[in-house]
Structure 1
Amino acid sequence: MTETAAPVASLAAEAAALDGADPLAAKRAEFDLDPEVAYFDGNSLGAPPKNVAERVTEVIRQQWGRRLIRSWEETWWAAPQRIGERIAPLVGAAAGQVVVADSTSVDVFKLLVAAVRANPGRDEILVDAGTFPTDGYLADQVARLTGHTVRRVPVARMPGEANERTAAVLANHVDYVSGQLHDMPSVTEAVHAAGALAVWDLCHSVGAIPVRLDACAADFAVGCTYKFLNGGPGSPAFVYVAQRHQAEFDQPLAGWAGHADPFGMEPGYRANPGIERARTGTPDILSMLALDAALDVWDGLDLAVLRAKGLALGDFFFRCLDELIPDADVVTPRNHARGHQVSVRDPGGRKTMDALYARGVLGDFRPPDVLRFGLAPLYTTFGEVLRAVTVLREVR
């Protein structure tokens, strides 16, 4: 037996045992996955649940093809609120606080403007220094439009940096590069103590870890649905507005869909009194109803079980790296203050990821040198984790 064959054999036996005991193993069969591919990019684009294609076909042929314009009143117009209620338990929100509408970028803009409008007399916005670029771009534009300044600080330092000038903070729950999980309860509490409002970006946590917006007393949140929620490419984002803020929620994109009487065609804007006021324009029905179908895989799911498997997948990924690539430069925290991804620095960067692609292991690359491997507990297996690390060792 070769020098590396022994640890691989031992890890393979461990992976088989873990997969055999996986309480979520049956969920994998609900996804349309290529058996030749080990997919580790669910943190960018989730895999499609099998029922989505059939549901979308029904929407096109029946709801659109036969019911035509009647479907707006029968099912389509209320879809953003109805689907928002399906997402609410995944983010720890009581009813009436989540609506699906627009893109993540549009929703970040709406929420951040609303947050600073709700907190007058303060001229500063704190932004996560390591944020996904679009959040930073949008914060800069909000500042230009509202007369605020933007200050970038790491999320962990926000509790000490928020002060009497701070109107709002925009923070990522999970860092998109490293996968580090930030402490939402303590950050939100400290931000509130400074008199500021908290806007959370949940794009890399919803569908991966339990989120408890109500319990944390979060003010606003936005999340995408095409990553761990598997809603499909370009599926619409969702907005959370805490009940206590809804009556004064003054968002800048006051479109007809957020009007109190959208079909009344009034010349002036009157905001809907509830979460619907976070809507702006006509919803993208095909994408929205594809998302609705994709959410079926979450029905009855215990998020604690999901979290336990996600952490176990990450722990096993680290073990495989330690055994097979002991010099790997791991960016992701090894403790459990992390989301469901493992990030590794690699000098080969894009070339290394291209080589992984050629061998059927699909992760992704973030400049300048980070390889990301998303771990979607609903369909990622421990055997695939071993395959990813084994192939990485061979191509780097």
Structure 2
Amino acid sequence: MSTAAPLDAADPLAHFRERFVGAESDLVYFDGNSLGRPVAATAGRLGAFVRDDWGGRLIRGWDEQWMELPTRLGDDLGRICLGAAPGQTAIGDSTTVWLYKLIRAAVDHVVRTDPARTEIVIDTDNFPTDRYVAEGIAAERGLTLRWIEVETSAGVTADQLREAVGERTALVVLCHVAYRAAWLADAPELTRIAHDAGALVLWDLCHSAGSVPVALDGWDADLAVGCTYKYLNGGPGSPAFGYVNARLQADLTQPIQGWMGHADPFLMGPGYAPAKGMRRFISGTPPILGMVAMQSMLELVEEAGIEAIRAKSVALTSYAVELADTTLPAVTLASPRDPAQRGGHVTLHHDRMRAVTARLWERDVIPDYRDPGGLRIGLSPLSTSFDEVERGLEAVATALRETS
């Protein structure tokens, strides 16, 4: 007898599922933390944009609305998902480019004011792009990386960060939710520890924005970066976002000086003069089509409420852990068992999970695989049902038996 049916019947957010393309199919989608399903309303929104805004207004669209869309939509994102007051968030570029711009701007500022601060603190299981960008900037600027060694089933703790930071620390780079284990960092405490040591902090929100409540202003965060194609359902390659606390904006010089960040973009003068406020952190022409797509999901998140979305996320991941405990005795949990320490996905460990994942994909059950031996179950709260979780875990059990 299904244990999912009563959970779906009692789910106050269940009706949102029908507003996503493909959610009515039998496919089990366990990868919403890598690429969210499209919101059904997005197709009409994009069609109207092509017909009316792009096709109808043509170049006039820049003057009428597109020039301001990166910061206007950034303010919406900040209000709905990030706990950020207006004027601190902008959308555009990729996560990698935002990481480069903000890490480089932060360390240059700190080193200018205190040349002894020559270290970037980052953990060994931080997302690869974060580590690679930090390595490149350290080499470029003659800085040192100080590594925090973490278990792949956990993340950075307060004690570990206290031990790592000090009078040489310029910047700490941390993930709010660990991409592999879903470890949910204690952001307020870790931010305070870094600040007490005299350092700045950059938060990677890629695996939390739209799924886990974020309070950047409340944390007194300095900088943040995140993508919009996971829980924000902006589509493949949709633009990323950057956050710079208002108290820092005038002090930071972003290193990719493009025409859109100029104080007067159409002056076309011989020198660069940065715009005031958050606009100075924009570089090139904004990806308007990608921003159009993500607006539909932002509307759903606002309608449902981020706290209700988090409650559904906790319920889904807890149900997945419960089913794994009872139906997958050979599997170990590679994520925190306490849901208060866990983001929106769960990783299950077994030596055969690579083969299991390949077999599941052939059967329209779509999880992610992450070394070592991790099957990652990403459960996007508004588009995932408890029945989908139950059917997916049954398929995992079958595939494990078949690959033994």
Give the Cα–Cα distance (whole angstroms) in 2 for the partners of residues 117 and 181 of structure 1: 29
Report 1:118-157 matches (<5 A): 118-120=109-111, 121=115, 122-153=117-148, 154=150, 155-156=156-157, 157=160
Which of these residues, 67, 70, 88, is aligned with residue 60 of structure 2? Answer: 70
Which of these residues, 334, 338, 346, is aligned with residue 337 of structure 2? Answer: 334
Give the Cα–Cα distance (whole angstroms) in 2 for the partners of residues 158 and 115 of structure 1: 19
Report 1:74-85 matches (<5 A): 74-85=64-75
Is residue 2:353 matched to residue 1:363?
no
CA distances 1:111-141 after superposition (whole Å, capped 9, x unpaired): 1011112212211001122111111110011
Gaps of 5+ in 2: 151-155
Q: What SS class does the counterpart of residue 77 from structure 2 fall into?
A: helix
Aligned to 1:278: 281
Q: What SS class does the counterpart of residue 198 from structure 1 fall into?
A: strand
Residue 152 (structure 1) shift = 1.5
Give the Cα–Cα distance (whole angstroms) in 1 for the partners of residues 11 and 334 of structure 2: 27
Aligned to 1:236: 239
State which drifts further: 294-303 or 67-76. Answer: 294-303
Give the Cα–Cα distance (whole angstroms) in 2 for the partners of residues 249 and 268 of structure 1: 18
Residue 180 (structure 1) shift = 0.7
Is residue 2:8 matched to residue 1:33?
no
Aligned to 2:108: 117
Name the TM-score, length of structure 2 as normaliser: 0.93
**2:35–2:231 contact (8 Å) kept in structure 1:** yes
- Partner letter of residue 196 of structure 2? A
Give the CA RMSD over aligned residues.
Answer: 1.1
Aligned to 1:44: 34
Aligned to 2:98: 107
Is residue 2:392 matched to residue 1:377?
no
Give the Cα–Cα distance (whole angstroms) in 1 for the partners of residues 270 and 48 of structure 2: 37
Give the Cα–Cα distance (whole angstroms) in 2 for the partners of residues 162 and 19 of structure 1: 46
Aligned to 1:6: none
Q: What SS class does the counterpart of residue 361 from structure 2 fall into?
A: helix
Name the TM-score, length of structure 1 as normaliser: 0.95
Report 1:246-395 matches (<5 A): 246-336=249-339, 337-395=341-399
**2:146–2:164 contact (8 Å) kept in structure 1:** no
Aligned to 1:3: none
Give the Cα–Cα distance (whole angstroms) in 2 for the partners of residues 30 and 192 of structure 1: 43
**1:206–1:223 contact (8 Å) kept in structure 2:** yes
Give the Cα–Cα distance (whole angstroms) in 1 for the partners of residues 182 and 139 of structure 2: 30
Aligned to 2:89: 98
Report 1:126-205 matches (<5 A): 126-153=121-148, 154=150, 155-156=156-157, 157-205=160-208
**1:128–1:172 contact (8 Å) kept in structure 2:** no
**1:349–1:367 contact (8 Å) kept in structure 2:** no
Instruction: Go from structure 1 to structure 2 and tell me whether the alpha carbon gap of 1:350 and 1:331 turns closer, same or farther (over 3 Å shift).
Output: same
**1:30–1:297 contact (8 Å) kept in structure 2:** no
- Partner letter of residue 142 of structure 1? I
- Partner letter of residue 149 of structure 1? T
State which drifts further: 172-181 or 156-165. Answer: 156-165
CA distances 1:230-280 after superposition (whole Å, capped 9, x unpaired): 000000000000010011121111111111111111211111111111100
Residue 349 (structure 1) shift = 2.9
Give the Cα–Cα distance (whole angstroms) in 2 for the partners of residues 281 and 184 of structure 1: 31
Aligned to 2:6: 17
Residue 307 (structure 1) shift = 0.9
Aligned to 1:4: none
Aligned to 2:153: none
Give the Cα–Cα distance (whole angstroms) in 1 for the partners of residues 19 and 162 of structure 2: 42
Give the Cα–Cα distance (whole angstroms) in 2 for the partners of residues 379 and 309 of structure 1: 11
Moved over 3 A (4+): none
Q: What SS class does the counterpart of residue 303 from structure 2 fall into?
A: coil
Q: What SS class does the counterpart of residue 338 from structure 2 fall into?
A: coil
Gaps of 5+ in 1: 1-8
- Partner letter of residue 14 of structure 2? A
- Partner letter of residue 5 of structure 2? A
Give the Cα–Cα distance (whole angstroms) in 2 for the partners of residues 339 and 323 of structure 1: 22
Report 1:211-222 matches (<5 A): 211-222=214-225
Q: What SS class does the counterpart of residue 76 from structure 2 fall into?
A: helix
State which drifts further: 194-203 or 368-377. Answer: 368-377
Aligned to 1:59: 49
Q: What SS class does the counterpart of residue 373 from structure 1 fall into?
A: strand
Residue 296 (structure 1) shift = 2.0
Give the Cα–Cα distance (whole angstroms) in 2 for the partners of residues 301 and 53 of structure 1: 21
Residue 146 (structure 1) shift = 1.4
Kindly tell me the number of residue pairs found equivalent between the two proteins.
385
